[in-house]
Amino acid sequence: MHIFILVEAFRQSPAKRHAIFINEWFIKGNVPSELDGLVTQVNISSKLSQGVSESVNSAVSAVGRTFSDKMANHGGGFGGFIGALRQKAGDTGLDADLFKSAQADMVKMLADPNNGFGSTYQKDGIYLPNPTFSKQLILFRKALASAGFDPKELGLY
Protein backbone atom coordinates (compact mmCIF):
# COMPACT_ATOMS: atom_id res chain seq x y z
CA MET A 1 0.00 0.00 0.00
CA HIS A 2 2.82 2.40 0.78
CA ILE A 3 3.99 2.53 -2.83
CA PHE A 4 0.51 3.38 -4.09
CA ILE A 5 0.22 6.28 -1.63
CA LEU A 6 3.72 7.52 -2.43
CA VAL A 7 3.13 7.43 -6.19
CA GLU A 8 -0.06 9.46 -5.74
CA ALA A 9 1.90 11.99 -3.62
CA PHE A 10 4.56 12.08 -6.35
CA ARG A 11 1.89 12.81 -8.96
CA GLN A 12 0.75 15.83 -6.93
CA SER A 13 4.29 17.17 -6.62
CA PRO A 14 6.77 15.34 -8.89
CA ALA A 15 10.04 16.05 -7.11
CA LYS A 16 13.36 14.41 -8.06
CA ARG A 17 14.09 13.16 -4.57
CA HIS A 18 10.61 11.59 -4.36
CA ALA A 19 11.24 9.75 -7.64
CA ILE A 20 14.67 8.59 -6.47
CA PHE A 21 13.23 7.35 -3.15
CA ILE A 22 10.39 5.42 -4.82
CA ASN A 23 12.76 3.99 -7.41
CA GLU A 24 15.44 2.90 -4.93
CA TRP A 25 13.14 1.43 -2.30
CA PHE A 26 10.16 0.07 -4.16
CA ILE A 27 11.27 -0.55 -7.75
CA LYS A 28 14.89 -1.66 -7.16
CA GLY A 29 14.14 -3.16 -3.72
CA ASN A 30 16.87 -1.40 -1.73
CA VAL A 31 14.79 -1.33 1.46
CA PRO A 32 16.77 -1.16 4.72
CA SER A 33 16.74 -4.50 6.52
CA GLU A 34 15.24 -2.96 9.68
CA LEU A 35 12.05 -2.30 7.69
CA ASP A 36 11.62 -5.86 6.41
CA GLY A 37 8.00 -6.90 6.67
CA LEU A 38 6.62 -3.36 6.70
CA VAL A 39 8.05 -2.22 3.37
CA THR A 40 8.96 -4.39 0.39
CA GLN A 41 9.81 -4.12 -3.27
CA VAL A 42 6.85 -3.84 -5.62
CA ASN A 43 5.79 -7.14 -7.12
CA ILE A 44 5.99 -6.28 -10.82
CA SER A 45 7.74 -8.02 -13.68
CA SER A 46 11.51 -7.65 -13.82
CA LYS A 47 11.22 -6.21 -17.34
CA LEU A 48 8.79 -3.51 -16.18
CA SER A 49 10.87 -2.90 -13.06
CA GLN A 50 14.01 -2.38 -15.14
CA GLY A 51 12.17 -0.12 -17.61
CA VAL A 52 10.70 2.07 -14.86
CA SER A 53 14.04 2.29 -13.08
CA GLU A 54 15.84 3.32 -16.28
CA SER A 55 13.14 5.92 -17.01
CA VAL A 56 13.53 7.42 -13.55
CA ASN A 57 17.33 7.51 -13.78
CA SER A 58 17.32 9.13 -17.22
CA ALA A 59 14.63 11.67 -16.24
CA VAL A 60 16.57 12.70 -13.13
CA SER A 61 19.84 12.86 -15.08
CA ALA A 62 18.23 14.96 -17.80
CA VAL A 63 17.20 17.70 -15.38
CA GLY A 64 20.23 17.22 -13.11
CA ARG A 65 20.23 16.67 -9.39
CA THR A 66 22.40 19.65 -8.56
CA PHE A 67 23.40 22.91 -10.20
CA SER A 68 26.77 21.33 -11.04
CA ASP A 69 24.97 18.50 -12.85
CA LYS A 70 22.95 21.05 -14.81
CA MET A 71 26.16 22.89 -15.77
CA ALA A 72 27.76 19.64 -16.93
CA ASN A 73 24.64 18.78 -18.97
CA HIS A 74 25.09 22.10 -20.79
CA GLY A 75 28.77 21.59 -21.60
CA GLY A 76 30.42 23.06 -18.51
CA GLY A 77 32.30 26.34 -18.23
CA PHE A 78 30.62 29.69 -18.68
CA GLY A 79 28.26 28.35 -21.37
CA GLY A 80 27.24 25.54 -19.03
CA PHE A 81 26.65 28.07 -16.26
CA ILE A 82 24.35 30.15 -18.51
CA GLY A 83 22.58 27.00 -19.74
CA ALA A 84 22.07 25.80 -16.17
CA LEU A 85 20.64 29.17 -15.16
CA ARG A 86 18.20 29.06 -18.09
CA GLN A 87 17.22 25.51 -17.19
CA LYS A 88 16.76 26.41 -13.52
CA ALA A 89 14.54 29.35 -14.52
CA GLY A 90 12.49 27.00 -16.68
CA ASP A 91 10.93 23.67 -15.87
CA THR A 92 13.21 21.28 -13.99
CA GLY A 93 10.41 19.05 -12.77
CA LEU A 94 9.77 15.45 -13.69
CA ASP A 95 6.80 13.97 -15.52
CA ALA A 96 4.06 13.20 -12.98
CA ASP A 97 3.28 9.97 -14.86
CA LEU A 98 6.78 8.55 -14.44
CA PHE A 99 5.45 5.58 -12.42
CA LYS A 100 2.20 5.19 -14.39
CA SER A 101 3.01 1.78 -15.88
CA ALA A 102 4.15 0.33 -12.55
CA GLN A 103 1.09 1.74 -10.80
CA ALA A 104 -1.25 0.31 -13.45
CA ASP A 105 0.36 -3.10 -12.95
CA MET A 106 -0.13 -2.83 -9.18
CA VAL A 107 -3.79 -1.83 -9.57
CA LYS A 108 -4.42 -4.86 -11.79
CA MET A 109 -2.82 -7.09 -9.18
CA LEU A 110 -4.83 -5.54 -6.34
CA ALA A 111 -8.09 -5.85 -8.25
CA ASP A 112 -7.50 -9.50 -9.17
CA PRO A 113 -9.89 -11.63 -7.07
CA ASN A 114 -7.57 -14.64 -7.52
CA ASN A 115 -4.71 -13.22 -5.45
CA GLY A 116 -6.58 -13.36 -2.12
CA PHE A 117 -6.33 -9.64 -1.48
CA GLY A 118 -8.02 -8.23 -4.56
CA SER A 119 -11.47 -9.31 -3.50
CA THR A 120 -11.24 -7.43 -0.17
CA TYR A 121 -9.20 -4.37 -1.18
CA GLN A 122 -11.09 -1.07 -1.17
CA LYS A 123 -9.07 1.79 -2.63
CA ASP A 124 -10.77 4.35 -0.36
CA GLY A 125 -10.71 2.12 2.71
CA ILE A 126 -8.75 2.76 5.88
CA TYR A 127 -6.00 0.28 6.58
CA LEU A 128 -4.15 0.27 9.86
CA PRO A 129 -0.74 -1.36 10.21
CA ASN A 130 -0.33 -4.28 12.53
CA PRO A 131 0.81 -3.00 15.98
CA THR A 132 3.89 -5.21 15.76
CA PHE A 133 5.18 -2.77 13.13
CA SER A 134 5.03 0.30 15.41
CA LYS A 135 8.82 0.64 15.79
CA GLN A 136 9.32 0.12 12.06
CA LEU A 137 6.64 2.68 11.26
CA ILE A 138 8.58 5.32 13.21
CA LEU A 139 11.70 4.53 11.17
CA PHE A 140 9.70 4.57 7.93
CA ARG A 141 8.19 7.96 8.75
CA LYS A 142 11.71 9.35 9.35
CA ALA A 143 12.89 7.96 6.00
CA LEU A 144 9.88 9.49 4.25
CA ALA A 145 10.53 12.88 5.86
CA SER A 146 14.20 12.79 4.84
CA ALA A 147 13.10 12.07 1.25
CA GLY A 148 10.84 15.14 1.30
CA PHE A 149 7.48 13.45 1.88
CA ASP A 150 5.17 14.63 4.65
CA PRO A 151 4.17 11.45 6.57
CA LYS A 152 1.21 13.18 8.24
CA GLU A 153 -0.12 14.35 4.88
CA LEU A 154 0.24 10.78 3.65
CA GLY A 155 -1.81 9.55 6.60
CA LEU A 156 1.03 7.71 8.35
CA TYR A 157 0.84 8.57 12.03
Would residue 112 count as lying in a domain? Answer: yes
Whole-Å CA distances, 19 to 54, 60, 92, 157? 12, 8, 13, 22
* pLDDT above 90 coverage of the chain, percent: 10
What is the structure's pLDDT at 117? 57
Residues spanned by the domain of 48: 2-65+95-154
Does this model's pTM top 0.85? My answer is no
Would residue 34 count as lying in a domain? Answer: yes
What is the structure's pLDDT at 142? 93
What is the structure's pLDDT at 145? 93
What is the structure's pLDDT at 69? 64
Taking each helix axis as running N to C, give the angle between helix 100-111 and helix 46-63, from 0 to 180 degrees, rounded to the nearest 10: 150
Angle (nearest 5°) at CA 20 between 50 and 49:
15
Tell me the residue type at 13: S
Q: pLDDT digits over 55-95, tens only?
A: 888 888 777 666 676 667 667 777 767 776 676 666 656 77
Q: pLDDT digits over 100-134, tens only?
A: 888 877 777 767 667 655 556 666 777 666 777 88
Would residue 56 count as lying in a domain? Answer: yes
Would residue 89 count as lying in a domain? Answer: no
Would residue 74 count as lying in a domain? Answer: no
Q: 12-16, 37-41, 44-48, 83-87: lowest mean pLDDT where?
A: 83-87
Closest CA to 125 of 89, 80, 155: 155
Q: Number of structural domains, the chain?
A: 1
Q: Are 141 and 2 in contact (CB under 8 A)?
A: no
135 — pLDDT class (breaks 50, 70, 90): confident
Would residue 70 count as lying in a domain? Answer: no
Would residue 80 count as lying in a domain? Answer: no
Would residue 146 count as lying in a domain? Answer: yes
